[in-house]
Structure 1
C-alpha cells in the first residue's frame, strides 16, 4: 500500500503543527515560571526609559539589592518582579520628572544555580531559562555512576524562606536553586 501524495503532505503538516504546539507550550511554561520571577542578588538587570538615555541603567544587584537610580535615589529591587520594578520606577518618575514615562526592565543575566552531590563537576553555573535537573546535571558533567535519579533535592528560597523540595530529574530549576543529587545504594 502506498501513500497518496496529499495524505503524506497532510501528515507532515499535522506533524509540524504538533511539534510547534509542543514547543510553544514548553516555552510558555518557562515564561510563566519566570513571569513571577523575583529578583535577587547576583541578577543583572537593564532599566530603560524610552527617549531618556540618562535614565537607562544596567547593573548587577548586590547582596543588599538596592541600586542608586537617577532622581529617585536608592531603590531596593530584591524580591520584586520585573513588572513591579517597572511600576515602581514609573510611579517615581511620573509627574515631577516625566509626563508619561515608558519604563522597561529586562533581566540580562540570572543569578547562578548550584549543583552538588553525585555529579561529575559540582559547582555554580549560569542559569538559563527552561533549565531542568537533567540539563543542570549535563552542565555539571553528567550524573556519576552511583547517582540516584529518584533522590534529588532542591533548596529554593520562597518569599525569603529556604524550602526543601523533593524533585525528579525532569523538574524545572530556578536561579539561585541549590540542587543536590544523592547517591543510590546499589
Structure 2
C-alpha cells in the first residue's frame, strides 16, 4: 500500500515538474536588461546587475560571464554548475529580470523615443505609452524591426502585434 502511495506521489510530482517546465520563460536576455541573481543562504553572491553592451556581467567568484542570448533558467543552471565546481556544495540559484531593455517608437506619435518594455506589450499599448497618434498618423502603416535584424527590411505589423524589448517601431504619416 505504501509503495503504491509513493508511486502515486512521484507521478504527481513529475507531472507538476513537466507542467512547470512548459511555463518557463523563453525570453533571451540582452544588453540593457537589469537582472537579479540570488544564491539562497549566500548574501555575498546575490547581485543586481545590468547586462553590458557586450552582453556580459561581472559575477563574484566567477568573473565576467557572457550571458547574451541566455534565458533566466539557462543562466541559473550555468551559475549553479560553476558554483558546484569547487565553491559551494549545494547552491540554490535563482535569476530574475528586474527591468527589461527598452523598445523604441518613432514617426507619427506624440512622444517618440525609448520606453521601458512591459510583458504582454502590443503595438496599441506602445502607441499609448508614446502619447498616442499624431493627427497625420496613418491608420495602417506600422512597421517593426526586431533587435538584431536588418533595419532596411522592416516588417509591417498591426495594432495587436506583440512588441519585444529592443524592437524599433515606426508609425508612418498619412497623406490625407
Please indicate the TM-score interval, normalised by the length of the shorter structure: 0.7 to 0.9
Structure 2: state its 5+ residue gaps.
1-22
Paired position in structure 1 for 2:14 = none
The answer as to 2:161 corresponding to 1:171 is yes
CA apart distance, 1:82: 0.9
Paired position in structure 1 for 2:29 = 39
Moved more, 102-111 or 78-87: 78-87
* Preserved contact between residue 149 and residue 169 of structure 1 (Cα < 8 Å): no
The answer as to 2:140 corresponding to 1:182 is no
CA apart distance, 1:126: 1.1
The 2-side partners of 1:115 and 1:152 are apart by: 10
TM-score (norm 2): 0.81
Paired position in structure 1 for 2:114 = 124
Segments of 4+ moved more than 6 angstroms: none
SS at 1:35 equivalent: coil
Paired position in structure 1 for 2:84 = 94
CA apart distance, 1:142: 0.3
* Preserved contact between residue 147 and residue 182 of structure 1 (Cα < 8 Å): yes
- Size of the aligned set, in residue pairs, is 152
CA apart distance, 1:182: 0.9
Structure 1: state its 5+ residue gaps.
1-31
| Cα displacement string for residues 151-184 of structure 1 (whole angstroms, at most 9, x for unaligned residues) | 1111102xx4446322101111011110101122
| Within-5 A mapping of 1:3-14 | none
| Cα displacement string for residues 97-123 of structure 1 (whole angstroms, at most 9, x for unaligned residues) | 112211100000011111001101111
TM-score (norm 1): 0.77
CA apart distance, 1:91: 0.9
Paired position in structure 2 for 1:4 = none
The 2-side partners of 1:63 and 1:44 are apart by: 12
Among 142, 150, 166, the alignment partner of 1:152 is 142
The 2-side partners of 1:151 and 1:50 are apart by: 49
